[in-house]
Amino acid sequence: MPKSAHRVQSPLTGNRGFTLIELMIVVAITGILAAIAIPNYLTYQKKAKTAEARSNTGGLQSAEIAYFAENSYYLSIAPQPSQASRAGAVGGSKIPWPHNPAVVGVTSGATVGQAANIGFSPEGSVYYSYAADNQVFSINTPLTAAQCAAVAGTATTAGGGLITAAYGNLDGNAVGTNRFAIADAIEMMDCTPGVY
């Protein structure tokens, strides 16, 4: 029998692979997707780190309220960890919580205390510094930007209201510091929205 003139072709015959242009298109598309995704991911990470500030500021306020129940005044607390120690930290890195002893002889509105005076101490290292102030402000009124920025833990106004705050610079730039604050029974306020 004569051999058939028709040959069965293999499915792989005639495939030469990808051309250089096709590979370049894939690389370009991947680059565009990465350029969009990476900044969004970094912003998402910074927003997640702000949860620490929200939680610890609430904890600081709770400790102050308990202190007030026993002593009939709020205690001003200078930023801890100090702003100087925070300045040396690389943006977004944690720094150890200082274990400062309680200030002895704290009296109403006369002394700035430590977080140890009210029993506030976060676990481990922190992204933010925390402060509390006695300040006079309108109850149940949102804080102004000036009040939010002014929480330095140095106010000695006896009988003033309580403002607790968190300060941080998660991105390490020189633009500004991210701040959160709570004034008495008012909700948490992001004093610098969009700044990390």
Residue pLDDT, tens place only, 2-19:
555 555 555 555 567 788
Token readout for 149 is: 């920025």
pLDDT of residue 110 exceeding 80 = no
Task: Please give the average per-residue pLDDT across 94-122, as a whole number.
Answer: 76
Q: Kindly report the average pLDDT of the chain as a whole number.
A: 75
Q: What is the structure's pLDDT at 181?
A: 74
Rounded to an integer, what distance in angstroms lies between the CA atom of residue 25 and that of residue 72? Answer: 70
Rounded to an integer, what distance in angstroms lies between the CA atom of residue 68 and that of residue 106? Answer: 13
The contacts found for 113-116 with CB under 8 angstroms, 24 or more apart, are 113/75, 113/76, 113/77, 114/77, 114/78, 114/80, 115/60, 115/63, 115/77, 115/80
Q: What is the structure's pLDDT at 70?
A: 86
Amino acid at 152: A
Q: What is the structure's pLDDT at 25?
A: 96
Amino acid at 23: L
Q: What is the structure's pLDDT at 64?
A: 87
pLDDT of residue 109 exceeding 60 = no
Q: What percent of the chain lies above the pLDDT cut of 90?
A: 10
CA atoms within 13 A on the CB side of 135: 25
